[in-house]
Amino acid sequence: MIQGMDVGIMPLDASEWSLGKCSYKMLLYMACAVPVVVSDVGMNSEVLRRGAVGIGVRALGQWGEAMDELMSSEDLRRSMGLTGRRIVEGHYSVSDAAEAWANLIRRVVGR
């Protein structure tokens, strides 16, 4: 179903609870090559800095503007969606996570 979406959204407030979120929903959209409009807080901000994957919003009034911008350009949606897919493949895949864990274990064990 996600692959059939035009834009994925992930609204969050700036509470401590939200700041602890891992951006899973955002990454899920990106993995399906769907551009995002997300609250520009916490880990969402970190993911947004990796490339042009969508639009980060900081104020309630920016949601409509961001959606309008993406919905008015199929080329922009496609470009951001593909960039998001590449970023997920390159930084958030299971193989990357497994390698990071293996490296951490090697450092802890001393091998």
pLDDT of residue 54: 98
- DSSP assignment of 65-102 equals HHHHHHHT-HHHHHHHHHHHHHHHHHHSSHHHHHHHHH
pLDDT of residue 34: 98
Per the CB < 8 A criterion, the answer to whether 12 and 41 are in contact is yes
The residue ranges of the chain whose pLDDT is under 50 are: none
What are the tens digits of pLDDT across the range 60-86?
A: 999 999 999 999 999 999 999 999 999
Count of alpha carbons within 13 angstroms of residue 81, beta-carbon side: 20
How far apart CA 26 and CA 10 sit, in angstroms, is 6
pLDDT of residue 47: 97
pLDDT of residue 2: 95
Residue that has been written with the tokens 């899920």 in this structure = 28
- Contacts with 33 (C-beta within 8 Å, 6 or more apart), sequence order: 3, 81, 82, 84, 85
Residue 110 is classified by DSSP as T
Angle between helices 74-91 and 62-71 (to 10 degrees): 100
pLDDT of residue 110: 82
Ordered by where they begin, the domains of the chain are 2-109 (3.40.50.2000)
